[in-house]
A and B are shown apart, each in its own frame.
Chain A
Amino acid sequence: MSDSTIMLRRNFKHTLRNPAAVFNSVLFPVVIMVMFVYVMGGAFDVGVDYVDYATPGMILLAVCYGLSATATAVNSDMTKGIINRFKVMDVSRGAVLTGHVVASMLNNVIAVAAIIGVALLLGFRSPAGLTGWLGVIGLALLLSFSVSWFTVALGLSAKSPETAGLGSVPLVMLPFFSSAIVPAEKVGTGVAQFAEYQPFTPIIEALRSLLAGTPDTTALITSVAWCAGIALLGYVWAIRTFNRRA
């Protein structure tokens, strides 16, 4: 077995041993979705069925909400000396970090599948064909990959598991200040400008266009560029911290 396989098995075991954490990371986005669709959705005029409008943003929220568990897990490995132990055993940093990234993506996939399932139950319907759905899955995975690297770096750098968990809060909040809940032009001016230029808005717009069966190429390209940038930043930050911190 290679070091990477051993590390992956360890991280998968963590996911299996801690079903409460997985459930928790699925529950919150589902509750938010039900709340917006049933309780507040009627108040927003978005031009289409509200559940159809909200689902893309909820996919993004499902990805982001699971990240605090990743940050906490990585940080506990760092602060408890487990990463030091692996380093002294000459386990490659690639194996250690990739294990966490893949585990984080697995959690994301479970949460995204759950949120799409709930959306369908709430009446969500999409005219998208196979290509459209593959695009949605591909973009969700790319987003998950990039924010997971970013979160792993955050977890490595934080002083304690508590601050690591707290550090991921902005990622959970960002979807609320995007076009996830209502169109960006309908929120207050300051927020609207922020919403227009923050990375999650084009990603949501790209997902929305794919699910609506009318892919928006500009949004897709912008999304991929943002994801690549975030992934690169996270990767470089993670490697630097891994090499320096003991």
Chain B
Amino acid sequence: MSDSAIEVSGLRKAFGTRVVLDGIDLQVPAGTVFSLLGPNGAGKTTTVNILTTLIQADGGSVRVAGRDVIRDAKGVRAHIGVTGQFAAVDDLLTGQENLQLMVDLKRADSAVIPGLLERFDLTGAARKPVATYSGGMRRKLDLAMTLVGGPRIIFLDEPTTGLDPRSRRTMWDIIRDLVAGGVTIFLTTQYLEEADQLADRIAVLDQGRLVAQGTPAQLKRQIPGSHVRLRFSAAPEAEAAAGLLPGATRDEDGVTLRVPGDGGTASLRDLLNRLDDHGAHAEELSVHTPDLDDVFLALTGREVSTR
């Protein structure tokens, strides 16, 4: 598919004197998943708010579903669905009534409700007030509500923040299902793993600028690969082991080594054999895979603190 679902160029936004978005360009082909990755305060939600017609940009052009978000906000709204950072569900209504509310407002057919409840595993709780739902259930209901009316472009603003690992996996499966149905997804996240799992393309947002953009594979090539950490009982032993392992660097504490590797079992076995052959014994071994901290350190030279 060559059609662009979302086209953004030169997007700028400031709140007072604080510049939040400083010239963003991006393009999302229809039927793909695009992930905007960044720490808290990078400008992710502001981007989503502008792309979904909720706030107006100060400059640049934004086209969603082929329509300008300012000149034809109504046209854009007819094609999109948005699930915000907090589950926008009505606590005093039941799950079923929340969906009915969406059906009424979208002038859709109530017949879609049982299917949505089934798909999100909410049939059993459908007649209970949403106030009694768990965080994961609320997120699922929120997304189910967004799907009423069959939007072709869906914005998900940090859809799994605060969810337990199992609910996160469920959410990922649901997102994959949507993509399989031809829906375009614009996803923001602070988790590299999530972007890696779901996205066709990832853009890294930092202080209002895109510092990198590409496929997950391209992006990972720019960041340090996984490495193995070895902790020895004393500095001389660490120093001796460092001589055996090419590329190894010693941490400031003097007893910990970082050995770059591809994360595969073959390179790990090779490393262990090499230590064994020379009678070196590490007290502790851990395998470290790159996360958002590494991406930011590599791309911006700064550390970020993620939750």
Contact = CB atoms under 8 A, between A and B. Distances in A.
Interface of A: 1, 3, 6, 10, 13-14, 17-18, 79-82, 84-91, 244, 246
B19 interface: no
A1 B103 CA distance: 11
Given A10-B90, A18-B92, A86-B105, A246 B55 contact: yes
Contacts of A17: 92-93, 129
Contacts of A89: 77, 102, 105-106
A87 B86 CA distance: 16
Contact of B92 (A14, A81, A246): A14
A135 B102 CA distance: 41
Contacts of A18: 92
The 6 closest A-B pairs by CB, nearest first: A81-B88, A246-B54, A81-B84, A85-B88, A17-B92, A90-B77
B104 A88 contact: no
A150 B147 CA distance: 35
B80 interface: yes
A88 B87 contact: no
Contacts of B97: 13
A138 B258 CA distance: 79
A87 B80 CA distance: 12
A84 B54 contact: yes
A3 B86 CA distance: 24
With a 10 A CB-CB cut-off, give which of A3, A86, A89, A90 has the most chain B CB atoms: A89
A85 B87 CA distance: 10
B82 interface: yes
B85 interface: yes
Looking at chain A's contact residues, the main secondary structure is helix
Contact of A13 (B92, B102, B104): B92
A10 B101 contact: yes
A87 B49 CA distance: 11
Interface residues of B, number: 28
B217 to A, nearest CB: 33
Contacts of B81: 88
B82 A85 contact: yes
A88 B82 contact: yes
Contact of B54 (A13, A82, A88, A91): A88
A85 B52 contact: no
Given A17-B93, A88-B54, A88-B77, 8 more contacts: A80-B88, A81-B87, A84-B84, A88-B80, A89-B77, A89-B105, A91-B105, A246-B49
With a 10 A CB-CB cut-off, give which of B78, B82, B89, B90 has the most chain A CB atoms: B90
B4 to A, nearest CB: 20
Contact of A82 (B77, B85, B90): B90
With a 10 A CB-CB cut-off, give which of B78, B88, B89 has the most chain A CB atoms: B88
B97 to A, nearest CB: 7
A18 B92 CA distance: 8
A3 B101 CA distance: 10
Contacts of B77: 88-90
Contacts of A85: 82, 84, 88, 145
B105 A84 contact: no
A81 B86 contact: yes
Interface in B74-116: 74, 77-78, 80-82, 84-90, 92-93, 97, 101-102, 104-106
B53 interface: yes
Contacts of A90: 74, 77-78
A10 to B, nearest CB: 6
Contacts of B106: 89
